[in-house]
C-alpha cells in the first residue's frame, strides 16, 4: 500500500467509468434480468419484475411526451417513497427530462421558490404526507388550477408551470392523475421513445437536487446521467452487490442516498429495490428485512439507532443481512459495532459525500479491517480525486485537519441558474469545496472531523463536536447525542450537548459531566446538557444543529453579540 506524503489522493481507475445514459443502463438490466424482482414497495403491495417495471416506465414516458414535454424540460416530483417515484425517475431519464427533486418537507414558500428557480413545466405530487397536504398547497400557490383543465394552468405565481400530475386514485380540478398520464401515450408517442433516448448524452443534465438551504435560499445542484449512474455503480461495487442481492431502502428517494446509492446502484447490477414504507419507520424496516430476506440495508446513523433500540428488535430474523451503507452523518463507533454484531451486517460500508458530488467521495470496503470501518469513512472512490487544504488553500500533510475538496466526474455541473454560487463552491481548477473538516491518514483513510462552520472555538481552543459525541456515545445510558457551541461572554463559545437516553434510563447533568472528567480535556466537557426524546431532523435524517443552538440561546438567555 502506498504511503501518502500529502493529503491528496486519487481513486482507482482500473475499472472504467460507465460512458452511457441511465436509460441505456436500465435497458441492459431489463434485457438481462427481466424476470427477476426489480421493485418491491411493501406499503403499496407492489411487486414488479424488471420487465414489468420497464413497461410502467415506457407507459409514463410516452404519456409525458403526449403532454408536450421535451428533452431538457424540468419536471418536479414532490412525494415520499413510493413505486411511482421510481417510475418517474426512470421515465424522465428515458426521454431526457430533468427531474427536479422537491423535498417532502417543503412548504408554500419553498415550493414556489424551487419550482420558479428551475422553471418547472410539470409537477408530480403526492396528495398528502404526514402533516403536509400537497394538493392543498399547490391550490394555495396557484389558485387558478381550480378553474382550468388539466395541463392548462396559467398561474401568476408559478408562470412556468402548466401541468400538475397527482398520485392516488382521487381526482382534483385542473390536475391529471398519474394513471391519466400513463394512459395518454398512444402509438405515436411510444414510437418516439427509442429515437429520443438514442440522442441523449451521458454528460446531459438529468437531475436537480436542492441543497438544504439552512442559510439563504436552497440551491439546485445539477447532476448528469454519467455522474449519478457511475456513483451508484461504484458504491454498489463497494458492497459487492449482484443480481442476487435485495436492498432495503428506507432512506428518502428525493435525496441522493435513495435515488442514487439505492435505485441506481441496484439498476446497475440487477439487485432488487425494496421499500419498507413511505417514510422511515424502524419496525417497518425490521419487518421488511425479515420478510423479504434483504441482504443489504441503508440508513443514516439515527435510523440504525432506532432499529437497534426497537423494543421488539430481538424478535426479527435479520440473518439474511450481509452489507449495506451507513451515511449522511458521522457514525458513532458504538453504533457501527452493534450494526455489525447484532444486525449481521459484517460487510457494512460507511460512505461520505454531499449532494453536489453525486454524492459519494469516500467509502469503506468489506475488506477493510473492522477498526478502520468503525473509525473512518474509508478511502477515496474510484475515479474521484480528493485533497485537504488549509485556510490558505495549501494541501496539508497526512493527519492534519483541513477543508476537504473533491474533483472528478462526480462534481455537479453547477447550481442551476446561479453562476455566482457555483463559483463560490467550485474553484477555477474544478475543485468542489465541501465545507467539511477532515483528515487523511498515511494510508488514505479519511476521517470527517466536522463542518468548518460547526467547529467550536472555546477560549482559543478548537473543539470538534464529533470528537465529544464519540466519547459520550461510550456512556452506557446514552442512545444518541449532538454537540454544538453556544455563545459565551467569557470564552466566546461554550459546549452544549443534547442527549437522548436509552429506553428506561435516567441521568442528570452532573452525571454526564462527571463521566467526562479525566477522560477528555476540560474545555471539551459540555457546560450545558439538555435531555430530549428526539432531535430536530431534516427529512434525510441529519440533525439540525442550528435549530438546537437557537433554542438553547433563547432558553439560556444568551445573545449572539456575546460571541467573540
Residue-level pLDDT at 130: 87
pTM of whole model > 0.75?
yes
372, β-bridge pairs:
none
**Is 222 among the domain residues?**
no
**Is 329 among the domain residues?**
no
**Is 376 among the domain residues?**
no
**Is 169 among the domain residues?**
yes
How many domains does the chain fold into?
Answer: 2
Domain boundary among the residues 210, 225, 240 is at 210
**Is 127 among the domain residues?**
yes
Domain boundary among the residues 174, 191, 210 is at 210
Q: What is the CATH number of the domain that holds 81?
A: 3.40.50.980
Domain boundary among the residues 210, 229, 252 is at 210
Residue-level pLDDT at 561: 34
| Mean pLDDT, range 104-127, rounded to an integer | 93
What pLDDT digit, counting tens, does each position of 502-522 carry? Answer: 999 999 999 999 999 988 878
CA gap 131, 511 in Å, rounded:
38
By percentage, how much of the chain surpasses pLDDT 90?
81
Region of 160 (left: φ > 0; alpha: ψ -120 to 50; beta: rest) is alpha
338's CB contacts (< 8 A; 6+ apart) are: 304, 308
Residue range of the domain that includes 465: 461-562
CA gap 184, 422 in Å, rounded:
39
**Are 498 and 482 a contacting pair, CB within 8 Å?**
yes
Q: What is the CATH number of the domain that holds 516?
A: 3.30.300.30
Which carries the bigger pLDDT value, residue 541 or residue 177? 177
CA 241 to chain CA centroid, Å, is 19
Residue 103 has pLDDT above 50, yes or no: yes
Which carries the bigger pLDDT value, residue 113 or residue 429? 429
| Mean pLDDT, range 538-556, rounded to an integer | 88
**Is 259 among the domain residues?**
no
**Is 402 among the domain residues?**
no
CA gap 276, 85 in Å, rounded:
14
**Is 312 among the domain residues?**
no
Q: Tell me the three cell numbers of residue 529.
A: 446538557
What pLDDT digit, counting tens, does each position of 218-274 carry? Answer: 899 999 999 999 999 999 999 999 999 999 999 999 999 999 999 999 999 999 999
Amino acid at each position: 500500500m502506498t504511503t501518502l506524503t500529502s493529503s491528496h489522493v486519487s481513486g482507482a481507475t482500473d475499472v472504467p467509468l460507465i460512458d452511457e445514459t441511465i436509460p441505456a443502463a436500465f435497458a441492459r438490466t431489463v434485457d438481462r434480468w427481466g424476470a427477476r424482482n426489480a421493485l418491491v414497495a411493501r406499503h403499496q403491495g407492489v411487486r414488479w419484475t424488471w420487465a414489468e417495471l420497464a413497461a410502467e416506465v415506457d407507459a409514463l414516458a410516452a404519456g409525458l411526451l403526449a403532454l408536450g414535454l421535451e428533452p431538457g424540460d424540468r419536471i418536479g416530483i414532490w412525494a415520499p417513497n413510493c413505486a411511482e417515484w421510481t417510475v418517474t425517475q426512470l421515465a424522465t431519464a428515458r426521454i431526457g427530462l430533468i427531474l427536479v427533486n422537491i423535498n417532502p418537507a417543503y412548504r408554500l414558500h419553498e415550493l414556489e421558490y424551487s419550482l420558479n428557480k428551475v422553471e418547472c413545466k410539470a409537477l408530480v405530487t403526492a396528495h398528502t404526507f404526514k402533516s403536509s397536504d400537497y394538493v392543498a398547497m399547490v391550490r394555495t400557490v396557484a389558485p387558478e388550477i381550480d378553474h382550468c383543465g388539466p395541463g392548462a394552468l396559467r398561474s401568476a405565481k408559478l408562470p412556468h408551470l402548466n401541468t400538475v400530475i397527482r398520485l392516488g386514485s382521487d381526482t382534483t380540478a385542473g390536475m391529471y392523475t398519474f394513471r391519466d398520464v400513463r394512459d395518454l401515450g398512444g402509438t405515436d408517442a411510444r414510437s418516439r421513445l427509442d429515437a429520443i433516448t438514442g440522442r441523449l448524452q451521458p454528460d446531459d443534465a438529468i437531475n436537480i437536487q436542492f441543497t438544504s438551504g439552512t442559510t439563504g435560499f436552497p440551491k439546485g445542484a445539477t447532476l448528469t446521467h454519467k455522474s449519478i449512474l457511475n456513483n451508484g455503480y461504484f458504491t454498489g461495487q463497494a458492497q459487492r452487490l449482484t443480481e442476487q442481492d435485495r436492498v432495503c431502502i428506507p432512506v428518502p428517494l428525493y435525496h441522493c442516498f435513495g435515488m442514487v446509492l439505492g435505485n441506481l446502484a441496484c439498476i446497475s447490477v440487477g439487485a432488487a429495490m425494496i421499500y419498507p414504507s413511505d417514510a422511515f419507520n424502524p419496525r417497518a424496516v425490521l419487518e421488511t428485512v425479515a420478510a423479504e430476506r434483504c441482504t443489504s440495508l441503508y440508513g443514516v446513523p439515527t435510523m440504525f439507532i432506532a432499529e437497534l433500540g426497537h423494543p421488539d428488535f430481538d424478535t426479527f430474523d435479520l440473518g439474511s443481512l450481509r452489507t449495506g451503507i451507513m451515511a449522511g452523518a458521522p457514525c458513532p463507533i458504538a453504533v457501527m459495532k452493534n450494526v455489525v454484531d447484532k444486525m449481521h451486517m459484517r460487510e457494512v460500508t460507511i460512505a461520505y459525500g454531499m449532494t453536489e458530488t453525486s454524492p459519494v467521495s469516500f467509502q469503506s470496503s468489506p475488506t477493510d479491517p473492522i477498526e478502520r470501518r468503525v473509525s473512518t469513512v474509508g478511502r477515496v472512490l474510484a475515479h474521484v480525486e480528493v485533497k485537504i487544504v488549509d485556510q490558505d488553500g495549501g494541501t496539508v500533510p497526512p493527519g492534519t485537519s483541513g477543508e476537504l475538496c473533491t474533483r472528478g466526474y462526480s462534481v455537479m455541473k453547477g447550481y442551476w441558474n446561479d453562476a455566482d454560487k457555483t463559483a463560490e463552491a467550485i474553484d477555477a481548477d474544478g475543485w468542489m469545496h465541501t465545507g467539511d473538516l477532515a483528515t487523511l491518514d498515511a494510508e488514505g483513510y479519511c476521517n470527517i472531523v466536522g463542518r468548518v462552520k460547526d467547529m467550536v472555538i472555546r477560549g482559543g481552543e478548537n473543539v470538534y463536536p464529533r470528537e465529544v459525541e464519540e466519547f459520550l456515545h461510550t456512556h452506557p445510558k446514552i442512545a444518541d447525542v449532538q454537540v454544538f457551541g453556544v455563545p459565551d461572554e467569557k470564552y466566546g463559545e461554550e459546549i452544549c450537548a443534547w442527549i437522548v437516553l436509552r429506553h428506561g434510563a435516567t441521568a442528570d447533568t452532573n452525571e454526564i459531566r462527571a463521566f467526562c472528567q479525566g477522560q477528555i480535556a476540560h474545555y471539551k466537557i459540555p457546560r450545558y446538557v439538555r435531555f430530549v426524546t428526539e432531535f430536530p431532523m431534516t427529512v434525510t435524517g441529519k440533525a439540525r444543529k442550528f435549530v438546537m443552538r437557537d433554542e438553547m440561546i433563547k432558553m439560556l438567555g444568551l445573545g449572539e453579540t456575546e460571541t467573540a
